[in-house]
Amino acid sequence: MAWLPLATAVLPLFVVNAAYLISIAGDHIPKCIPYLEGCTSISAAGRYGLAYFFFKAGMIPAAVLLATFWVFCRRWLLILGDADGRMVRAMVVTGCTSAAFLILYTVFLGSEGEFYGLMRRYGVNIYFSFGYLAQLMLLGRLQRLTKAGLIRLPRGILSGKLALMVVMLLIGLASIPMSDVFTDQHRPINIVEWNFSALMISYFFLTWRAWQITGFRITPAIDLSPDR
């Protein structure tokens, strides 16, 4: 099952950056390094021309993969010895909610009108915030299992996840007063958006490595008992 977190990371990373290049080729958005210069937003990268169709065709499957990942994360934790408690179930619900609102955002991207704009804003905000919370809960469960001696992961995986959580939190907090600090708010907000999404995706690469190390497997079983 190690391919699942890898695909969850690679697909949206590819779709977003490819859509940006397609939009540049069509002269729909300015050319720059958006992670550093913030000349355009992720939404603008997938709003025009061929990139509009490419973005939607790629991000909706990416959201489905994301929801599937969180469902299987619960199975992974239980196999590792975790209890099926409230935190584990909340992680799944929160992660799947994040994926659902990513679909909402993607569907309404490019639509005009106040209602559609509201749906886009709700979609992207809840996607990021709930996705962050789900990742934080997963890290908490892995730290708990490590302290209990149930798993042994390389220190770099847990410390890397923790570092990503801290940096994302700092970026999120730093974005709050931007309206009071910067006259042109668009560029710094775009930089925050591009980098926050890259950091969130990086979390799945570390999870991919953890699934490899723990040898996570899903084996189908057939019940051959007489009463079946």
Task: Convert the pLDDT of each residue in 19-49 to its tens digit.
Answer: 999 999 999 999 999 999 989 999 899 889 9
State residue 179's pLDDT score. Answer: 56
State residue 180's pLDDT score. Answer: 57
State residue 219's pLDDT score. Answer: 59
Contact residues for 96 (Cβ-Cβ < 8 A; gap 6+): 67, 70, 71
In the block, residue with structure tokens 């220190």: 155
What value does the mean pLDDT take over residues 161-176? 90
So where are the chain's domains? 3-214
3-state secondary structure of 123: helix
Where do runs of H (alpha helix) occur along the chain?
3-25, 34-37, 42-45, 49-80, 86-108, 114-147, 155-175, 178-181, 186-214
Nearest to 148 by CA among 82, 93, 57: 82
| pLDDT higher than threshold 90 for residue 112 | no
d(CA 93, CA 214) in angstroms, rounded, equals 24
| pLDDT higher than threshold 70 for residue 111 | yes
| pLDDT higher than threshold 80 for residue 118 | no
| pLDDT higher than threshold 70 for residue 220 | no
Is residue 135 within 8 A of residue 70, CB to CB? The reply is: no
What value does the mean pLDDT take over residues 123-129? 90
Specify whether the backbone of 215 is left (phi greater than 0), alpha (psi in -120 to 50) or beta: left
195 class by beta-carbon count within 10 Å (0-12 exposed, 13-18 middle, 19+ buried): middle
